[in-house]
Structure 1
Amino acid sequence: MKTLLTVCLLSAASAGFTACATADETQAALIRQGQEVATAADCQACHTAPEGGKPFAGGYEIHSPMGTIYTTNITPSKQFGIGNYTEEQFVRAVREGVRPDGANLYPAMPYTSYSHMSDADMHALYVYFLQGVKPVEQPNVETALPFPFSMRIAMAGWNMMYLDSTPFKPDTSKSEQWNRGAYLVNGAGHCDTCHTPRNLMMGSVTDQPLAGGMVGPWYAPNISSDPVSGIGNWSQAQLVEYLKTGRTAGKNQAAGGMAEAVQNSLQYMSDSDLNAIAFYLKNSTPVRDPRDTQAADTFGKPVNVEEGLRGAHPFNANKTIDNGAALFSGYCASCHQPDGSGSENQAYPSLFNNTATGMGNASNLISAILYGVDRQVGDHHVLMPKFGVGSYVGQLDDQQIADISNYVLKNYGNAAIQVSAHDVAVLRAGGPVTLLAKLQPFMAPAMVAGVIVLLVLIFWLGRKRKTKVA
């Protein structure tokens, strides 16, 4: 009897251990899934301050047309982060852009795309952030946009117009790979947030999906399947290579926000997911800009800058770097080569057959000069120094950058595009100012005037009514 009891107790203990082990394994699997979702959603890029910021602790500056928006601490810190969020509150913030206190988030947080994420991914994401991320006790920097953009309640009306909260539904007429790509591009990966143009109210122009748009001083290009304006002439392998490494020879190199996406997100995604994104983009709705006459990566040819400079000035002359060719020779040719062909391994890319120089929008060429290129992929660090404010190489003014840009465009890129010093100044200041932002100084006076007119009208109607009664 004693032996039987011992066996029963041991069996019960073993069953309990197995149950605990199974629960632990399930939780660990959820955390891993949540980390994969967070990686695909590129949470770290926006919620980690550059140059040594702690992961997910916030403080990253997003320069929107309405002003600077600071990202928040999303670690499980109970004082400064999301440690007190219930899962329902977390899901509402991510999908609907509403904080637990009822305040609306700005759509710099891409909840308009996250709204399509699945319940399973949302649950895993919550478990990961609450249990798989280290809490950081770092206070948030308050976002203080100018009036009336500071009125977060106005976002409720914006959401009614532009937030599509319909869950992602697979298209049964398409393949599993296409549907996975659609889910990543328009949901978790939120490619559409940057690459779809915006209207006056900063809502997505839904009839031009992935057709490109400005994001601060950078241009997120057309990534629809159109072979001229978009990526239709890229092979699937080239797209995957670009997503994983940030560069594809003869096509493009990631800089600005795209470099951050590659560095913090895309390089860590599975090959199957990267192939799904590429497959979906290759089979997306083509959107053609009628101004485009040839693909951006087909412009230009080698032109040796030195041939036009030799003998132009006496040997010991001073102040000879006074035009685009001389500036290119002095600041660019050592890396990109005198003929613009780049280094042999294309670590320093060719300036011809390059979308940055061939597009109808020169913003990425200008911004690369202003802000440089900086991305880390694996143990490979790509660095082009900036020539804007704070450059350790040489700080160039707006006209000098315009002169270099025009030399590059004329000889290696789209010669129909001309850059002015004003164009450079706009990007140096953070990018084009939208009409809505331009109207901001007049909004408060207009609102006050509207209230006065309303009060006068009420007073007049009241007086008129009293006159009738008398």
Structure 2
Amino acid sequence: MTRFPLTRMARALMGFGLLASPLAAQTPDPASGAYIATTADCAACHTAKGGKPFAGGYAINSPMGVITSSNITPSKEFGIGSYTLEEFSDAVRKGIRRDGAHLYPAMPYPAYAHMSDADIAALYDYFMQDVAPVETAAPETDLPFPFSQRWAMIGWNALFAGGAPITSDPDQSEAWNRGRYLVQGPAHCGTCHTPRNLLMGSKTADLMAGGDVGAWYAPNLTPGKGGLSDWSDADLARYLKTGIATHGRASGPMAEAVEYSLQHLSDTDIDAMVTYLRSLPARDSDLSPAAGQATDAAFAPWEHSANRTGHRLAKDAGGAELYETACASCHGLSGDGSKDGTYPALKGNVTLENGQSANLVSTILHGVTRETEGKHTLMPGFGPDSLVQKLDDAQIARLASYASMTFGDTGQTVTADEVKTLRTGGPVAPLVRLAAPQIMIGVALVVLLVLVLLVVWLIRRRR
């Protein structure tokens, strides 16, 4: 029932100088608790920026409000130090705390339910034995009514959770079985990449067919149109391991998943994930162009200046002028990127395809930060918090439209209203709209009216 985190940026180093991944520079051991914690990306959500590892306090923006992650260190007073293995398993796989309260599925327990008993036990031992206790309470989550009623998760869980540990399929290869376990279980890929229904439950019939993640879009991972049909196995494996591929670069939540989790997995496990993703039923993505139309200024001719030093953008600058000023120094005037690939080409980049406008705009707004293979990739954002060049919603819309129309295969147009929606966190979920006070009051009045009519009917029937 949540929109998942928009960003966990700038957390490569945390308390005591530890890497976000508990593996740090260790040799991967798939059976170790540290490896399983990295596969499940536990540190990313349970470590606040600048905070101590696993001490909680990280704010997760959801459509229902801010959900604050809990302290999962072995502190007996403030963490999970008093949990038994069974209680730990219930929290991880069922979303039920030791005190019986229900967790919100910002904690992806519907996916973790597929984890094996052995991995849960190893994970428990890791947290109890190897993680340092932090004797500090994490702030409590305080959602507005009706989402503050945790008991309501009982019904949601009955509909959309409650899975069982995955068992191997004897008709499939060892690599396929391992890949399915990782993708559907600890790596919880479907949490972002599977579309959601009105109640924010995963549409399992469209597994990995792509889904909205706040202001970002998690692309289709099936072999269908708009998915991975034109990706080679090597390219996909490289992307998972480094965030770099011929078709594009990881940004937003995917960049974080690569940095804090996927890059630390063994090559064998990465290849297994590729094997499984290749076997998924093909689902075609909706690649229709965005509904908005670009303004004429977005494509007005622009005579590129020989020297942009000291250049100041006019409020009504066109797309070409915006591109030259903000983007061309890295991506090139022709969108070819740098020869060594440090700055990616925009030509053929999946982010500029139809259906990807959310990722294009969000990348321009927030930039990119990703640390893999000991190298830090950084692209500055141009949104309200930019330290480089602040662009307003209309300018970003013209820039995004120009880049897409000029360098994309088919192009897409973006409006200022679309940019505003993404800048403020993405489209409002239908469930949140239904929970608006006026709608809830209306529903309450209808229920009350029905009850009154029922009472009147019963009274008349008795007479």
The bucket for the TM-score relative to the shorter chain is 0.7 to 0.9
Q: Where does residue 245 of structure 1 map in the other structure?
A: 242
Q: Where does residue 333 of structure 1 map in the other structure?
A: 328
Of 52-61 and 250-259, the range deviating more from structure 2: 52-61
| Structure 1 residue 56 displacement after superposition | 1.2
Q: Where does residue 93 of structure 1 map in the other structure?
A: 91
Q: Where does residue 133 of structure 2 map in the other structure?
A: 135
- Return the alpha-carbon distance in structure 2 between the equivalents of residues 309 and 207 of structure 1: 51
Give the partner amino acid of 2:39. Answer: A
Give the partner amino acid of 1:373. Answer: V
Of 167-176 and 423-432, the range deviating more from structure 2: 167-176
Does the alignment pair 1:357 with 2:352?
yes
What does 1:53-452 align with in structure 2 at a 5 Å threshold?
53-226=51-224, 228-248=225-245, 250-289=246-285, 291=287, 308-310=302-304, 320=314, 322-441=317-436, 442-450=438-446, 452=448
Q: 1:318 to 1:369 in 2, by over 3 A?
A: closer
- Return the alpha-carbon distance in structure 2 between the equivalents of residues 269 and 329 of structure 1: 39
Describe the superposition over 1:260-286 as per-residue Cα deviations: whole angstroms up to 9, x where unpaired: 111111111111101101111122211
| Structure 1 residue 384 displacement after superposition | 0.6
Of 122-131 and 55-64, the range deviating more from structure 2: 55-64
- Return the alpha-carbon distance in structure 2 between the equivalents of residues 169 and 267 of structure 1: 26
Give the partner amino acid of 2:115. Answer: M
- Return the alpha-carbon distance in structure 1 between the equivalents of residues 130 and 263 of structure 2: 20
Give the partner amino acid of 1:197. Answer: P
Q: Is the 8 A contact 2:354 2:410 kept in 1?
A: no
Describe the superposition over 1:94-139 as per-residue Cα deviations: whole angstroms up to 9, x where unpaired: 1011111111111111111100100000000001011111112232
- Return the alpha-carbon distance in structure 1 between the equivalents of residues 305 and 288 of structure 2: 39
Q: 1:251 to 1:434 in 2, by over 3 A?
A: same
- Return the alpha-carbon distance in structure 2 between the equivalents of residues 95 and 319 of structure 1: 53
- Return the alpha-carbon distance in structure 1 between the equivalents of residues 452 and 335 of structure 2: 68
Give the partner amino acid of 1:141. Answer: P
Q: Is the 8 A contact 2:146 2:435 kept in 1?
A: yes
Q: Is the 8 A contact 1:340 1:412 kept in 2?
A: yes
- Return the alpha-carbon distance in structure 1 between the equivalents of residues 223 and 451 of structure 2: 55
Q: Secondary structure at the match of 1:207?
A: helix
Give the partner amino acid of 1:105. Answer: L
Q: 1:311 to 1:291 in 2, by over 3 A?
A: closer
Q: 1:77 to 1:447 in 2, by over 3 A?
A: farther
Query: CA RMSD of the aligned region, Å?
Result: 2.5
Q: Is the 8 A contact 1:148 1:443 kept in 2?
A: no
Q: 1:169 to 1:359 in 2, by over 3 A?
A: farther
Higher helix share: 1
TM-score (norm: length of structure 2):
0.86
Q: Is the 8 A contact 1:147 1:444 kept in 2?
A: no
Q: Is the 8 A contact 1:356 1:364 kept in 2?
A: yes
Q: Secondary structure at the match of 2:371?
A: strand
Q: 1:443 to 1:59 in 2, by over 3 A?
A: farther
Q: Is the 8 A contact 1:178 1:280 kept in 2?
A: yes
| Structure 1 residue 307 displacement after superposition | 8.5
Give the partner amino acid of 2:229. Answer: G
Q: Where does residue 47 of structure 1 map in the other structure?
A: 46
Describe the superposition over 1:20-65 as per-residue Cα deviations: whole angstroms up to 9, x where unpaired: xxxxxxxxx9997111111111111111123x22211112222222
Describe the superposition over 1:372-409 as per-residue Cα deviations: whole angstroms up to 9, x where unpaired: 10111142001111111221001111001001000101
| Structure 1 residue 310 displacement after superposition | 4.2
Q: Is the 8 A contact 1:398 1:424 kept in 2?
A: yes
Q: Is the 8 A contact 2:226 2:287 kept in 1?
A: no
Q: 1:322 to 1:106 in 2, by over 3 A?
A: same
- Return the alpha-carbon distance in structure 2 between the equivalents of residues 323 and 105 of structure 1: 48
Q: Secondary structure at the match of 2:384?
A: coil
Q: Is the 8 A contact 2:210 2:285 kept in 1?
A: no
| Structure 1 residue 447 displacement after superposition | 4.8
| Structure 1 residue 371 displacement after superposition | 0.8
- Return the alpha-carbon distance in structure 2 between the equivalents of residues 306 and 376 of structure 1: 37
Structure 2 unpaired stretches of 5+: 1-27, 290-298
- Return the alpha-carbon distance in structure 2 between the equivalents of residues 119 and 331 of structure 1: 51
- Return the alpha-carbon distance in structure 2 between the equivalents of residues 306 and 106 of structure 1: 48
- Return the alpha-carbon distance in structure 1 between the equivalents of residues 31 and 135 of structure 2: 24
Give the partner amino acid of 1:288. Answer: D
| Structure 1 residue 465 displacement after superposition | 5.7
| Structure 1 residue 66 displacement after superposition | 2.1
| Structure 1 residue 166 displacement after superposition | 2.2
Of 67-76 and 31-40, the range deviating more from structure 2: 31-40
Count of equivalent residues: 423
Q: Is the 8 A contact 2:301 2:320 kept in 1?
A: no
Q: Where does residue 294 of structure 2 map in the other structure?
A: none
TM-score (norm: length of structure 1):
0.85
Q: Is the 8 A contact 2:242 2:372 kept in 1?
A: yes
- Return the alpha-carbon distance in structure 2 between the equivalents of residues 377 and 416 of structure 1: 30
Q: 1:464 to 1:264 in 2, by over 3 A?
A: same
